[in-house]
Structure 1
């Protein structure tokens, strides 16, 4: 059985992925923004091994979160599920872009990494030279192209790790809204599958999935020069270097 850490697992797709993994017999560590949400997360997934807290919009708390996760020992998979949508640009950039970068760099390297992106990444722009600490012009679509680029850079640099990105679809969560047309179950099944399944279609790296099928993604995410520029900017903005 695998040991999995899931960011943003107090509600929505993260909570559902945790529930599915626990039902399969896997060991799951949850993450919540604060203590109150942590208690709620454990109430909803009482079979979880533990819950750690940290506000991903705060750099210091995100760095401490990585330390707290490492103190729990090694993980087979980390699912970078946390994200914000209707929020100020600075918060979108901090949570959706910089937090997964920091956690990827600082958490002990797992066997598998899964990054949640969005079909909206196709409308995003990757302009590393324009990224700043406030990033007032960053959109949600931009941030999802950022995290896809991070995933592809990890897949290229860490050959021993399966690193993949998932578009869960527009699903009826708190973020997606009640009228979202895509399947909620299919929305979390792909990240669960990539985290623990040994099927040959799941044991790949550098791929972009929608409902367990590989799909076309923005070509900028595969551009090595842009990847390196992006990692360098993230290093400057966070003070955290990508491990070589």
Structure 2
């Protein structure tokens, strides 16, 4: 039986890198993608040194041509895809209180954030879910509690709106794929010590990816269209 094949976006560091490690430890063929090709190759070399089955491929999630090159690579090398982890994301909001006000939010910042955090996952799902064959597929959209409408606060407006929109994308795809055994879920990894989360964050990277990996390897009777933290559903 062929190994399952997984793609993790934005995976040269942080949550994406650790997700690649944990999936590869489960005997899954992992394609580690990153915008910077050299950083992606360096990350893969680290994982290969641990004896893990990981290959690198460049990917700019905001570029449709780059996404199509990735899809063609998967078709040629593996013939199918089983797992897609949409991890690549950016946070471009200014950090100061006054700059973080919605009254000062720049449309250009919102557009840039949406392009990576929403349009990228949309294009990837459109291109790669059709490669999920044999009545099996798992899609994990790495979201954030900052996008919860039920707990919406001020600050980081572009980031918040992009993650709320990503959650909507999860629901729409999950609904359209009902009955296909392609399960689509959102995850809040929590506040994690990464380059984006900062050194004061409360969670290790290993803790952050635990639910991502759980959703990426759900059994056939697993949930779809859900939003999870610590393997538990949380409000939208």
**Same fold per superposition (TM over 0.5):** yes
Match in the other structure for 1:74: 80
* Alignment check: 8 A CA contact 1:63 1:102 kept: no
The one of 119, 127, 130 equivalent to 1:106 is 127
2: CA distance between counterparts of 1:164 and 1:26? 19
Q: Distance in 2 between matches of 1:39 and 1:70?
A: 21
Q: CA deviation at 1:155?
A: 0.6
Which residue does 2:28 correspond to in 1? Answer: 26
Instruction: Work out the CA distance in 1 between the residues paired with 2:86 and 2:53.
Output: 17
How far did 1:145 drift?
0.9
Deviations, residues 174-212 of structure 1 (Å, cap 9, x unaligned): 010000123432210111111124285xx1101100011
Give the TM-score, by structure 1 length: 0.76
What is the Cα-based RMSD across aligned positions, in Å? 2.2
Match runs of 1:82-101 below 5 Å? 82-86=88-92, 88-101=109-122
TM-score normalised per structure 2: 0.78
5+ residue gaps, structure 1, are: 125-136, 218-244
Distance 2:215 2:111 in 1: 30
Against the structure 1 CA distance between its residues 63 and 48, is the aligned structure 2 distance closer, same or farther, given a 3 Å change threshold? same
The SS at the match of 1:52 is strand
The Cα shift of 1:58 comes to 3.1
Query: Partners of 2:124 and 2:75 in 1: how far apart?
Result: 10
What is the count of residue pairs matched by the alignment? 203
Gap regions ≥5 residues in structure 2? 94-108, 151-155
- In structure 2, what is the equivalent of residue 190 of structure 1? 211
In structure 2, what is the Cα distance between the partners aligned to 1:35 and 1:93? 23
Select the residue among 54, 65, 77 that pairs with 2:70. Answer: 65
Relative to structure 2, which stretch is displaced further, 22-31 or 98-107?
22-31
